[in-house]
Structure 1
């Protein structure tokens, strides 16, 4: 099912919506985090179509997002260069997702520094074997093609890195694609869990480094790395690079570790 079909009920108007084609994007009883974030981002885009490019976001995954939702979007502040927007998703009468979006026009730079190149570049997607064939949540099997982004079988500590791209042909703008794909990897802490148990994303904050990204073949290298795990939670760093090794997204996330 295409991502366009999922987003079709999302208009620029606040109010109720029924996500008719949500089944392909469900993760248990909730919409996959990247898809629910994209729904929240899309209402901001459609409500305020003249916004400058997205530069940063802060997202709170409060409760499960179901098929029947209520959406809202409001501009909190609009300056000469920066516009700040808040969107919310309510499900079953309760707040399910809250998001803060920072849109900002490009300005003449007064500081320049390229992001560091990824350590241990894995080579092109075609040079790496397929990953998670027939494994993982249904939303991954239905919508994503994954390839290894680190040597299979080696000890990579608390880091998960994979090449990923959408299976379907789509017309997503570059930033929408990053929002949808940026949360696709499981937390790096899963590599160091002594017991199998469920995990749940609590929040996700990220900066968009290239709002015009166009990666060859639609492939992006996604990495989740646990920076600290204890007391049932993991602090994760989430990054994405294009097929040429240019970093396009930089984020952090708190994940609940159960079991």
Structure 2
């Protein structure tokens, strides 16, 4: 399923639509979180086409999202510099995803502080070995190319770091690309799990550090790191860097750890 097939059905009017060939974007019995977040974001920007650049997003994955959906979106507040928009995905009369997007115009800075450079630079993706070939959920195998960006394998420090890029990026703007790709890796807590079991993203909150991010050949360095795991949940920090080592996204996520 191409990116266009995922976004083309979305109209400025919203409402009920159906996605075809959804099996290419499935993660278990639901749509991959990055894909459903992209749908919610696209619904927002197509409904309100005069929004300033996206600065942040808060996404709650409420329940499984299937092929037949209803898209709802509204402007919660429109100020002089900042617009806040809510968009939701509904399936069978129930909300399955709710997202809150913050858009803001650029202003004369009163504080300037660059994000710290990436630690333990893994080297360029062209020199990295392929990872997760023939493994992982359907959405990963069909839509992403993954390469190693750390020496560690198996149990250890709860950090998963990989080079990642979309196989098909045709017609996708950089912000949509980051939303689609930002949730691609398994949680860092995977390395601390005492036994294999299912995992599920509950929410995802992120700040964009660059409103026009660029990278070489579509590659982004992605890292999921568990900050704390207990009681069946993990608090994860999600970050993305470009091929020059500049951080472009900083996020947090709550993940349910089953089994």
TM bucket (normalised to shorter chain) is over 0.9
Rounded Cα–Cα distance in structure 1 between residues aligned with 2:59 and 2:236: 14
Change (3 A) 1:195 1:51: same
Partner of residue 220, structure 1: 220
User: In the alignment, does 2:82 pair up with 1:64?
Assistant: no
Q: Unaligned stretches of 5+ in structure 1? A: none
Partner of residue 47, structure 1: 47
Partner of residue 143, structure 2: 143
Partner of residue 128, structure 1: 128
Partner of residue 35, structure 1: 35
Which deviates the most, 145-154 or 223-232? 145-154
User: In the alignment, does 2:7 pair up with 1:10?
Assistant: no
Which deviates the most, 149-158 or 111-120? 149-158
Partner of residue 118, structure 1: 118
Rounded Cα–Cα distance in structure 2 between residues aligned with 1:161 and 1:204: 18
The Cα shift of 1:55 comes to: 0.2
Q: Unaligned stretches of 5+ in structure 2? A: none
Contact 1:6–1:21 (8 Å) recurs in 2:
no
- Structure 1 ranges of 4+ moved more than 6 A: none
The normalised TM-score by structure 2 is: 0.98
The Cα shift of 1:140 comes to: 0.6
Partner of residue 91, structure 2: 91
Count of aligned pairs between the two proteins: 259
Rounded Cα–Cα distance in structure 1 between residues aligned with 2:217 and 2:76: 37
Rounded Cα–Cα distance in structure 2 between residues aligned with 1:153 and 1:21: 34
The normalised TM-score by structure 1 is: 0.98
Partner of residue 200, structure 2: 200
Rounded Cα–Cα distance in structure 2 between residues aligned with 1:203 and 1:148: 26
The Cα shift of 1:6 comes to: 1.1
Partner of residue 167, structure 2: 167
Partner of residue 108, structure 1: 108
Change (3 A) 1:154 1:68: closer
- SS of equivalent to 1:202: strand
